[in-house]
Chains A and B, each alone.
Chain A
């Protein structure tokens, strides 16, 4: 059964002569545990698509259904965007976006406490996730003391902490060397299989897409596959 349905999604930035159509006629579905890769050159609309699906950017037209709940139909439906996001979506942002005044463990535990998990339980589970991602030895470090790869893994830990139905990863391998890039991709595959989340990963590196269930390619805001 589909966990994400997108129909006729369109996103236009700006108005009139300055209008930029970032997305046009986007249709696809993602099933539970499905791994989807989103390819495309820089500026083709990949980030824009993920941000629309996460209720961060408002689309211009179309329809989005997540977990059987219609969240967009030519306008937001009556959903609490923040709440929906923290309960259903894990996002690995291009720039990691860790909170600088929280340690690794606190960054991960925070998203669970936001969902009402007791702090002690959140830390315990956070620690397990950090171990699962082999970054537990950095639990008490602040983000500024971590390498790019380590920050990336903390961001992944945070994205999966709430076991969301959907995980979006925007170029998670961009700041990594090839070997580490493969490792992160491997990790996302494992998470999709073991945790059953639908995963959409953006990349512009064709070598990284081995073993993905579906691959879409964006070109000037349209799917070309």
Chain B
């Protein structure tokens, strides 16, 4: 005879309310955890999915993801000439916000040399890689573009020739891959009106400096911003080459900073991801503690409410195990039901794809949360168990 279920069937309302409440708290725990894992996954996605051994960036910069890095375009040829380097290619990445597929969207543009191929999108689920030197793009599915769509970026139209899935920048925004010159153009070239305004401003500065109109106009091309910079040079090493030697060589002779992909990942995890993970981690722990406290409280209240029944059980000769089982079963039912409800809600939210951030649910995390709830709940119900075992049987006779 299952006393726990019989007792609970008389308190269904209280029981269900607790499961809903604790379950929703756990939903938040799952989502926070999902965001945390999502931030990590997004943060390193482009690093992991760029086929390169080394990232060569501007001297002293932690780029190209954590901060701006500007490298002169022709540097990649010098890197190419470094001993141990099999292949080097220019790479540019920058975040923009533009109108795409009818709405203003944040995304990153990745530009690479399509002839060299370093930095190209890894897996294309529909269509093909960029093959033309201009006006083709590979876009991520999240942007809502279809194969064959044309997108205006800056002053040109680009045709979608390939679609990726899950290609994101470190902020979780989708990627657009362009051939390098196109990417540079979108980044640096302004429309005619803006060019005109910029030139007028530069001209005015030269005139203010005391140059004559004719001299100022002659100097104007020299003071215009150079457009041939890139974010990084990607390097593929010769097989069996010592990466450290190549790194040192490039740093010393080309006066640039060099990171391996693992270095880049660490930069990302130690930087942006770390702070947010501490915040989310703290909330996760607090919410788990609150959930366990609620379970403990409810189990305690349920136990105190039936303390006379428990004393009666002792009167009719029930062993302590019968009483402990009654309380533990209720604890387990509460924690397991809350867990299942909470997980289901979180999974539904993820499946709905309505959530604005990448959610990653790892089986390991799910099992860990389950075990924490289970063990925490059982330990927390210890107070109720202790109280129940302490109650003298004669308690049932009074009153």
Pairs of residues from A and B, 10 with the lowest C-beta to C-beta distance, nearest first:
A86-B317, A85-B317, A101-B7, A82-B317, A101-B10, A97-B312, A113-B1, A99-B309, A111-B316, A97-B396
A110 at the interface (CB under 8 A from B): yes
Q: Could you tell me if A93 and B315 are in contact, using CB atoms closer than 8 angstroms?
A: yes
Given A56-B393, A56-B394, answer yes or no on A114-B7 (Cβ-Cβ < 8 Å).
no
Complex formed: what's the CA distance from A51 to B396 in Å? 12
Q: Could you tell me if B394 and A57 are in contact, using CB atoms closer than 8 angstroms?
A: yes
Interface SS of chain B: helix, strand, loop or mixed? helix
- Listed by A's residue number, 13 A-B pairs whose Cβ atoms lie within 8 Å are A56-B393, A82-B319, A91-B315, A93-B315, A95-B399, A100-B10, A101-B10, A101-B309, A102-B6, A106-B1, A111-B317, A122-B1, A142-B10
B322 at the interface (CB under 8 A from A): yes
Q: Could you tell me if B316 and A91 are in contact, using CB atoms closer than 8 angstroms?
A: yes
Given A82-B318, A99-B313, A106-B6, answer yes or no on A94-B1 (Cβ-Cβ < 8 Å).
no
A83 at the interface (CB under 8 A from B): yes
Chain B residue at minimum C-beta to C-beta distance from A57: B394
Chain B residue at minimum C-beta to C-beta distance from A51: B394
Chain B residue at minimum C-beta to C-beta distance from A113: B1
Chain A contacts for B322, CB-based, 8 A: 114
B2-34 residues with Cβ-Cβ distance < 8 A to A are 3, 6-7, 9-10
Complex formed: what's the CA distance from A162 to B394 in Å? 21
Chain B contact-residue range equals 20 to 34
A10 at the interface (CB under 8 A from B): no
Q: How many residues of A contact B (CB 8 A)?
A: 31
Chain B contacts for A93, CB-based, 8 A: 315, 396-397
Given A57-B394, A94-B397, A95-B397, answer yes or no on A110-B314 (Cβ-Cβ < 8 Å).
no
Q: Could you tell me if B306 and A101 are in contact, using CB atoms closer than 8 angstroms?
A: yes
B311-330 residues with Cβ-Cβ distance < 8 A to A are 312-320, 322
A87 at the interface (CB under 8 A from B): yes
Chain B contacts for A110, CB-based, 8 A: 1, 3, 316
A119 at the interface (CB under 8 A from B): yes
Chain A contacts for B396, CB-based, 8 A: 93, 95, 97
A158 at the interface (CB under 8 A from B): yes
Complex formed: what's the CA distance from A110 to B314 in Å? 12
Q: Could you tell me if A56 and B7 are in contact, using CB atoms closer than 8 angstroms?
A: no
Chain B contacts for A111, CB-based, 8 A: 316-317
Q: Could you tell me if B312 and A56 are in contact, using CB atoms closer than 8 angstroms?
A: no
Complex formed: what's the CA distance from A95 to B308 in Å? 12
Complex formed: what's the CA distance from A57 to B397 in Å? 12
Q: Could you tell me if A87 and B397 are in contact, using CB atoms closer than 8 angstroms?
A: no
- Shortest Cβ gap from B303 to chain A (Å): 13
- Shortest Cβ gap from B124 to chain A (Å): 63
Contact with A along B279-321 (1 / 0, CB 8 A): 0000000000000000000000000001001001111111110
